[in-house]
Structure 1
Amino acid sequence: MTFPEWTKPSLYGALGGAIAVSVFGFSWGGWTTNSNAQTMAQNLAADEVTLAMIPFCLDNSEADPERSEKLAILRDLSGFSRRKAMMDTGWATRPGSDKPDRDLADACLEGLELDGS
């Protein structure tokens, strides 16, 4: 079986074009793999749930009878120790959970605006 003379260059051209389109698509074209898309969706969902829980956290802080003492402690701390203290207050514990949420604690600290007040 003989192939025409143009077959080999056209196959190389098609292969090179396929590789170039794939590189372009995944690098700059916005293409993504299924696992990467699932990871991005899970991260987005977690971020949105945290944002939705900020009012709950702020309401917990306002309903706490020891609010002023706990806020004074939070104002005196910074960085990770402030987040740890926020988690210890119990304000950053989601309903139905036993443990406080680290992301919610960070978001609630921003919502309390401790540095600006």
Structure 2
Amino acid sequence: MSMGEKWSAYRPSKAVWLWSCVGAAVLTMIVGFSWGGWVTGGTATKQAETAGEQAAAQLAANICVHRFLAAPDASAQLAELKKEDTWKRDTFVEKGGWVTFAKMEKPVDGAAELCAQQLASAELPAATTADAASETTVN
């Protein structure tokens, strides 16, 4: 009997079918969780919470930057911020109150650090700098 004839004549038993299905299911789960990006419900919940916290911090940091740069003494404050050590800049922003919003007792976690990073690389617009220079000459 040739190999092809043996293959077409083969009839697996119920036990072989069962264990083949179980093996295929286990292999599918291993591949899915290892390389397919599958996660458990608990992991998905943690990832969603982390993403929400990061989004809130980013939004608060963007508002903080806007408030900081819109302040009348923005150029002086920005110069002071840039003089601070890198690891102290978030404290400077927190103490300035730019990251604490109405009806909040404390700032959003991580927002002060993000705000300080954005401000450290920010430059004031030329119009604002010119306005500040004209105010000092008028006074």
What's 2:65 paired with? 58
Alignment equivalent of 1:48, drawn from 55, 75, 85: 55
Shift of 1:71: 2.7
Any unmatched runs of 5+ in structure 2?
1-11, 124-139
- Are residue 11 (structure 1) and residue 27 (structure 2) matched? no
**Separation in structure 2 between the aligned mates of residue 107 and residue 95 of structure 1, nearest angstrom:** 19
**Runs of 4 or more consecutive aligned structure 1 residues displaced over 3 Å after TM superposition:** 62-70
Any unmatched runs of 5+ in structure 1?
none
Shift of 1:66: 5.0
What's 2:89 paired with? 82
Structure 2 letter corresponding to 1:96: K
TM-score (ref. length: structure 1): 0.73
Identical-pair percentage? 26
Structure 2 letter corresponding to 1:28: W
Larger Cα-atom Rg = 2
Q: Which deviates further from its counterpart, 49-58 or 18-27?
A: 49-58
Shift of 1:89: 1.6
The number of residues matched between the two structures is 112
Q: Is the 8 A contact 1:70 1:89 kept in 2?
A: no
Q: Is the 8 A contact 1:87 1:102 kept in 2?
A: no
- Are residue 95 (structure 1) and residue 102 (structure 2) matched? yes
